[in-house]
Amino acid sequence: MLRLRELVLGLIGAGLTGLLLWSLPNLVQSWEWKTLDLRFQWRGALATDPNLVLIEADDQSAVTFGRWPWKRTVHAHLVETLHDQKTKTVVYDVLFALKGNSLEDRALEEAVKIAGNVVFPVAVRLMEKRKPYAPDHSDTGLPWPGLERPLESRRYFHANRAIFPLASLAEHVQGLGHIATNRDADGIIRRVPLLVRYHKQLVPSLAFQGVLAYLNVSPENVVPGNRAILIRNARFPGSTVPRDIEIPVDEQGQMLINYAGRWGETFQHVSMSAVLERPQPGELATGPSVTLENKLALVANTISGYDAKPVPVEKDFPGVGVHANILNTLLTGNFLKETSTAFNLLLVLALSLATAQVLSVRYYALQVVLVAALLAAYAFTAAYLFHSHLVLPVVAPLAAIVVTTLWVSLYNASTEKEAAEKMTHTAQMLSGEKQKVEAHLENLSRDLTSQQQEMDALQQQYQQEKVQLENRIHDLRLHSGLGTSLNRLTQPLFQECREHGIVTLEDAVAETFRELKQVAPNASSVLLLGESGTGKELFARALHRLSGRPGRFVALNLAACPEGLVESELFGHVKGAFTGATSDKPGRFREAEGGTLFLDEIGEVHADIQVKLLRVLQEKEVQPVGGERTFTVDVRVVSATNKDLKAEMEVGRFRGDLYYRLNTIPFTLHPLRERPKDIELLAWHFMDRYKHRYGRNINGISKKAMDALKAHAWPGNVREFENVIERGVTLADGTVIQEKDLQLKSEMETAAAPKPPSGARAPDRDEVFLDTLRRNQFEINATANHLEVSRNTVASRFKGICFQRLVDSGNDPAQAARAIAGETPHYEFVSQKLDEYYQNLVKDSAAWEDVEAAAADALKRSRNVPTAYHPAIAQLVRDRFQQDHA
């Protein structure tokens, strides 16, 4: 029987637990997600629905059909084959949004029209609620039939910016479904919104639409709700009796995905090449026979390096696997059911009361055993019930046990201390008990601290693995030049950039312009940061034009203004204020009245001018030099600098209050080396400008010249780039700009190579560079600072030298390391880097069947290495290929 004392202690423990969980919601949620992922991994693989077949555009298919994307006649052939095999429904996870070859598009359209059972994806962006100021171009797409939106779906996700398949394809499909997933805060995909709000209706996800088509469910038989989505009269294959399916969802319409297991251990996987080569209907040509008749086929790209996503069972899961698990969850009915908030609160209360009852026993050792047993029992129960698809909370209940244990132990200790003071004749006995309690509490505190440290270490490890995975995916992504990227110039945001003189194909630059446009109507101060030549004044002028301010745009380069005249230029002066002041001058602030004042190189302003400038920004008044009258001004100040103003502020060269006044809205402009897509576009832009200005008949730029432009580091950014193109137009002999016309020199050659003495032979460029590295103890940052170049430039040059020395030494790593390290004590470091670079270079050579294909792949992955070392890279890969295939 629960006594009043244990009841009160348990209630207080539950209250303390609630307070702790309320104060740390993000940490609690993060731990809860980790426990859910662990339960997926402990449970192992589930049996999947036999009617679900995955047809993959895999590496084997890439060998047959070439690099992705394939010709649309291949997809047309696959649709026709599946139709011949009497496949009931085909969910085709490939977005044919852009027009291709007209004959190929027509073949795919005819195949889809004849089949009549294909479901295509639609790319959308998800929002928790509609934002009026967010641009939405989704209504430019095709009609997307959906369901009526009942009141119960008012909190479902909104979708906009829809990208549809080609209209000629979409009008013949059996259905359309969105492919958006809602990642949790840790980046892992655990839920999917089955229905989203699109305009005035609800539209399904790709997998949900595929299941509705497969089970012959009409739209009126789909009933959305606040906690569940009901499917009525679903007709499963092999059954003549229709069934109702109740899908548990959260209030945003999201279903918790019941992942069946690791990718390679689940589902029926069939290579697309095998399907297209199968000799008889109903069976594959190679491997285990898989009957496609009356099945639901999911077609998608799983070629290595494409569309990898983190999920609870794997960190590098193919994107199609998410759709496959959604389909399997819906078809098998193995829905994960989460407990309600009310149940979770009652569970915390019950465990707090149980813990208080357990701690009412007299012996501390028994208390520890019972508390440990209670923790283990609940953890086992949660893991066991997960096999029955019931998801119990773990963090909050276990926290209730631990917090209540600490609270009751502390209360018991204080009670015993008071009793010891009142009962002196039992002091010795109570003192011993007190020591036991304190030791018990210390052990618990140590355990909690250790667990916290372990969780911090796991979190740090996760972040590191996440960064490594993102870098790997980025390294595997193929560069295809401009190609279809030129179509982006017709998009509204890129068109508007070009109207303001900002020529770009980069999302980062366009995003900066979009943010600039968003803040333009405000009068807040703007600080433009970035290297010299990145176009800060261009963005400042765009900001002024977008602001709609009636006044002028006035610019002042503070670095080019003599120090004694800065105050006069800014605030003006009256006649006779100083020698040479023969008339009144209004100053730049008053000239920019009602408009925008652009202060370039703000970091060069002297300290006394900083004080006066701060006063003008605060008071909105200027007082000319030598005058007594003040003038009220309405000016928006946009400042720019290539200095680190925060660092200048910390060393006392720039006032902190002025810094924070100017830094209301900062924008950092990207250097040209971070805008690879813009190199070719800017080259044609400036070439067109100067060939008309100078009357030159220039038709284009040679490939070698373009490669040189792309390989250059551009320390002077767009300004330097424009000068080089102007030089090329001027010096070109014919109608094509060649590499020699650009007169580009490697920045490292210019910075690192000293002038040889008269009559002396010029040293090898690699040796000069290596001497600089050795003097800086092979520190990349120190070498970059010494040469006044970027860190990436030094690192890529060092990697190329390593490859070249390996080839020169006959692939002897020890000899190559000694040649690079020289007489310095850094042989071990160089040897380690050599092995790391070499292993990364040849790690995939064994996967290729053709030596030249392996070499080409390695060169693509090493495109940041200077082209002078590409022959060495190809030679190393060829040698390793011969060894692997000997």
The pLDDT averaged over each successive group of 10 residues in the chain (886 residues) is 81 91 90 92 90 92 88 93 94 92 93 94 85 52 81 89 90 92 89 92 94 94 93 89 93 93 89 78 50 92 86 90 94 93 92 89 87 93 91 93 91 78 62 77 74 71 57 33 65 85 88 91 91 90 92 89 82 83 88 93 88 90 89 94 87 89 91 88 91 90 88 88 91 90 63 38 65 89 82 88 92 90 88 90 82 84 84 89 81
pLDDT of residue 281: 52
d(CA 504, CA 734): 28
Closest to 96 in 3D by CA, of 82, 79, 115, 80: 79
Closest CA relative to residue 46, chosen from 447, 443, 335 = 335
**In terms of C-beta density within 10 A (0-12 exposed, 13-18 middle, 19 or more buried), how is residue 402 classed?**
buried
HSE at residue 234, side-chain half, CA atoms within 13 A, is: 22
Dihedral, CA atoms, 244, 247, 248, 254, nearest 10 degrees? -160
Model pLDDT, residue 484 = 59
| Location of structure tokens 């502020």 | 649
From the DSSP assignment, how many helices (H) and strands (E) are in the chain?
Answer: 33, 27
**What are residue 826's phi and psi, to 5 degrees?**
-110, 30
Q: Identify the bridge partners of residue 737 per DSSP, sorted by sequence position.
A: 701
Beta strands 621-622; 631-632: pairing state = antiparallel
CA dihedral 787→789→792→793, nearest 10 degrees, is -80
Tokens of 423: 């009962």
Contacts with 522 (C-beta within 8 Å, 6 or more apart), sequence order: 665
Rounded to two decimals, what is the model's pTM? 0.48
Ordered domains of the chain (ranges, CATH): 4-43+338-471 (no CATH), 52-332 (no CATH), 520-670 (3.40.50.300), 673-744 (1.10.8.60), 763-884 (no CATH)
Helix 780-787 vs helix 791-808: angle between axes, to the nearest 10 degrees? 110
- Token pair for 826: 């850094």
What pLDDT is stored for residue 316 in this prediction?
Answer: 87
ω into 757 cis (within 30 of 0): no
Residue 276 CA to residue 271 CA, distance in Å, equals 9
Q: Are strands 596-600 and 636-641 parallel, antiparallel or unpaired?
A: parallel
Nearest to 145 by CA among 94, 204, 230, 91: 204
Answer yes or no: are the C-beta atoms of 517 and 493 closer than 8 Å: no
163: three-class secondary structure by DSSP: strand
pLDDT at 77: 94
